[in-house]
Structure 1
Amino acid sequence: MMEGNGRGRKVVINIASEGPKGSSPKEAEALNPKQNCQGAPNKTSTESGAVTTNRMDQYEKVEKIGEGTYGVVYKARDRITNETIALKKIRLEQEDEGVPSTAIREISLLKEMQHGNIVRLQDVVHSEKRLYLVFEYLDLDLKKHMDSCPEFGKDPRIIKTFLYQILRGIAYCHSHRVLHRDLKPQNLLIDPRTKALKLADFGLARAFGIPVRTFTHEVVTLWYRAPEILLGSRHYSTPVDVWSVGCIFAEMVNQRPLFPGDSEIDELFKIFRILGTPNEDTWPGVTSLPDFKSAFPKWPTKNLATVVPNLESAGIDLLSVKAVYVGLNISPIPDDHKMLCMDPSKRITARSALEHEYLKDIGFVP
């Protein structure tokens, strides 16, 4: 479940793979919601034991709390446990065609993802033409938190704590061959009591594609999208998430987005103006990507310390090549291996980033 298969320009139900190797036709049929109609059992199981159900009467909608990338999100109550949960109604491009069995299989497998920094998928509720995902409920996200705390960027301890938790959750998912592909502050949820941070919507891009517009036709943000995706690469992997985290890291420090582009070309140019226009020397193979143009303006690389001025030198070293080591005994990682390295093959991994000097003194993490 690791490589991407394009940029997801259309809002479609689209699975990149055919599911687990060795899946039999009977297993696929068992996951097909169209088989779960009159007289059928209320539950189906995947080979791995993840269970889906078509019984919506277990959940009572309390209120609509927003529109996400993939559909409408409701605050709801589990009638059995009385637990407050988040209910995501997935938007389907062709509702008359029902819910593809491959999408059900992909999502059901995500129920196995159990980690303290991942929002837990508790249930998959489906009928012939509807699909709901049941998650644990958290009503605060990183964007809301930054907007409500103007002094947030001046507290390096909380920034380090949040960054560490983001990387820890991503490293776990990547170790299970699951990508996010659409990380942004809005889907990093926070428990205001403990300051525990949890990643939401992991794996949904693989099951449903990355839409160009949200359920309410709002354009999906490009601000955290990796350059290889923007340049049309059809074979991308875990580095796309690390790029997004680098952008979010800089935003936490600056209290404003690092690359706030309003179109794909504008997003690319905002990246190039700071990190330099890539070429075959800095990123072998870049000129062969579908959307790379030889006519792109040739911008030089800026020192990121001037772009994120409030970030200490060790943090700059984690982000980008141009680091300044003043009064620090740091053995920097190789110049190319940073979060905002444009060449994805040389971008640092989430696991390696957790071991970086910048995060050595974070202390207790929820």
Structure 2
Amino acid sequence: MAFHGAGRQTVCGDLFPGSDLGHKFFCVGSSCGGPSAGLGAAPGLTGPSAPAGTPRHPTALGGGAGGGAAVPQPYSNPASEVPSPAEMEPDRPIGYGAFGVVWSVTDPRDGRKVALKKMPNVFQNLVSCKRVFRELRMLCFFKHDNVLSALDILQPPQIDCFEEIYVITELMQSDLHKVIVSPQPLTTDHIKVFLYQILRGLKYLHSAGILHRDIKPGNLLVNSNCLLKICDFGLARVEEPDPSRHMTQEVVTQYYRAPEVLMGCRHYGSAIDVWSVGCIFAELLGRRILFQAQSPIQQLDLITDLLGTPPLSALASACEGARAHILRGPHKPPSLSVLYMLSDGATHEAVHLLCRMLVFDPAKRISGGDALSHPYLDEGRLRYHTCMCRCCYSVAGGRVYTRDFEPAAERPFSHSYENSLLSVWQGKELIHRFITEHQQGKRVPLCINPQSAAFKTFIR
């Protein structure tokens, strides 16, 4: 099954219906009668360069020197894709979360279909202020094809009236959860290219020192051409190098929560994201949640049913209650062979990689970068870089491949600014200044139309 560019059948076919996008939500300039709110230009989305040494090149996996026939990019610049009047349907909400609401809208400046995320109640308390500022800075920091980033931020009003933040990101058609529970067939090709992109984005995040802390199918956005982006950084934070510093356990949706977090470990690292990816990998193979429990204790029991009773060394950082619960129970042998029963796609290579991700002890769990070197992902890498990525390109003689297939971040994400956040008002000033400076020298201001029926629904 091939991955193609525009005008050809994609690997997923028509996975999703066309997006209902509208043009009534915004107006350019101040003609809408409300206060002008400007938007900045979209930054480039090309991935940053990184040290060499990535896994095997597509030409070593069966492709020719040019990598095959020239293929159009599956998503040429979306700014040039101006919808026809028939496609201009009313703006609508596409997602709700604990920290905001997302709407699909159309930028009237270029007809580009985008997602508008509203972050309400930013300045209720200092914790909320820090969380939102961290997420906002991360969205502006990211430059990777498999990680969602900010295209624009709505200019804020005067600081006394500044209560909400509006961020524009690329609009994706669906998410991996909806694909998994749908009747859409998922072949081995789908699974490999999805898993490759998840790990490719995760390697980038971890190289920047960022823990996502809520990797789950609903936070993996996908298009019908199988392009995937990691999103929702509301729980993300910078990795804590000091093991004596306590970190919250109120992270990760339970079904994808790593055992060290379930056992009350006060300090954890990037391995918790890899565990989540392992759970998603199994879910893609079996089309059902691997560990679906009613409580964290039952979740831990389901994990030990599969992996067996962990050794004492893996319980060193567990809280007393969790350690006692495991030790007073009967000894369980591993039953990893049941993973072969997930589906016909659960081959020896697939199960081997899955078992490297689903390791009880985080110190022995494979890293995202090392997982990308597993032979199971060779075909996913080949398919992605043959016609889906933007780091490689086609010429008349064939395909020109990048020298670095899985780039790391150019620099670590800095969170030193948080040290100066000591009050809500100070946080409001810093965020206001950050957005204002981010917008300087950018495009024609874009306003939300306050007379729009869609906007009146949006602000509720």
TM-score by length of 2: 0.55
Structure 1's unaligned 5+ residue stretches are 1-40, 45-60, 214-219, 321-337
Match of 1:195 in 2: 226
Query: How far has the Cα of 1:98 moved from its partner?
Result: 10
Retained in 2: the 8 A contact 1:273–1:299?
no
Match of 2:383 in 1: 364
Q: Per-residue CA shift, 1:318-346, capped at 9, x if unaligned? A: 111xxxxxxxxxxxxxxxxx101111111
Aligned residue pair count: 283
Aligned to 1:289, which of 319, 342, 345?
A: 319
Cα 1:357/1:144, change in 2 over 3 Å: same
Match of 1:300 in 2: 332
Query: How far has the Cα of 1:351 moved from its partner?
Result: 0.6
Q: Per-residue CA shift, 1:113-153, capped at 9, x if unaligned? A: 1111112222344562213332110121111112223532x
Q: Per-residue CA shift, 1:27-65, capped at 9, x if unaligned? A: xxxxxxxxxxxxxx9799xxxxxxxxxxxxxxxx92112
For residue 282 of structure 2, give the secondary structure of its aligned residue in structure 1: helix
Match of 2:178 in 1: 144
Query: Does 2:318 match 1:317?
Result: no
Cα 1:278/1:90, change in 2 over 3 Å: farther
Deviates more, 1:289-298 or 1:69-78: 289-298
Letter in 1 for 2:237: R
Cα 1:76/1:318, change in 2 over 3 Å: same
Letter in 1 for 2:370: S
For residue 159 of structure 1, give the secondary structure of its aligned residue in structure 2: helix
Aligned to 1:262, which of 285, 294, 300?
A: 294
Letter in 1 for 2:383: F
Letter in 1 for 2:372: L
Match of 2:26 in 1: none
Query: How far has the Cα of 1:93 moved from its partner?
Result: 7.9
Query: How far has the Cα of 1:106 moved from its partner?
Result: 4.9
Retained in 1: the 8 A contact 2:248–2:266?
no
Structure 2's unaligned 5+ residue stretches are 1-36, 41-89, 239-246, 389-460
Match of 1:111 in 2: 140
Letter in 2 for 1:319: L
Retained in 2: the 8 A contact 1:114–1:120?
yes
Alpha-carbon separation, structure 1, partners of 2:128 and 2:278: 35
Retained in 2: the 8 A contact 1:77–1:83?
yes
Cα 1:294/1:343, change in 2 over 3 Å: same
Cα 1:229/1:131, change in 2 over 3 Å: farther
Cα 1:136/1:298, change in 2 over 3 Å: farther
Letter in 1 for 2:229: K
Alpha-carbon separation, structure 1, partners of 2:218 and 2:110: 28
Cα 1:103/1:64, change in 2 over 3 Å: closer
Retained in 2: the 8 A contact 1:142–1:185?
yes
Query: Does 2:345 match 1:345?
Result: no
Match of 1:64 in 2: 93
Query: Does 2:213 match 1:181?
Result: yes
Cα 1:260/1:210, change in 2 over 3 Å: farther
Cα 1:135/1:344, change in 2 over 3 Å: same
Retained in 1: the 8 A contact 2:120–2:163?
no
For residue 383 of structure 2, give the secondary structure of its aligned residue in structure 1: coil
Query: How far has the Cα of 1:299 moved from its partner?
Result: 4.6
**Equivalent runs, 1:188-267 vs 2, <5 Å:** 188-192=220-224, 194-202=225-233, 204-206=235-237, 221-267=253-299
Cα 1:98/1:75, change in 2 over 3 Å: farther
For residue 223 of structure 1, give the secondary structure of its aligned residue in structure 2: helix
Aligned to 2:195, which of 146, 163, 167?
A: 163
Match of 2:11 in 1: none
Alpha-carbon separation, structure 1, partners of 2:134 and 2:320: 31
Aligned to 1:74, which of 79, 100, 103?
A: 103
Retained in 1: the 8 A contact 2:214–2:235?
no
Alpha-carbon separation, structure 2, partners of 1:95 and 1:308: 49
Retained in 2: the 8 A contact 1:99–1:129?
no
Cα 1:162/1:230, change in 2 over 3 Å: same
Cα 1:210/1:63, change in 2 over 3 Å: farther
Cα 1:96/1:161, change in 2 over 3 Å: closer
Cα 1:278/1:94, change in 2 over 3 Å: farther
Identity percentage of aligned residues:
36
Q: Per-residue CA shift, 1:234-266, capped at 9, x if unaligned? A: 211111110000000000000100001222112
Retained in 2: the 8 A contact 1:64–1:75?
yes
Cα 1:122/1:307, change in 2 over 3 Å: same
Cα 1:178/1:97, change in 2 over 3 Å: closer
Query: How far has the Cα of 1:273 moved from its partner?
Result: 1.4
Deviates more, 1:247-256 or 1:62-71: 62-71
Letter in 1 for 2:325: A
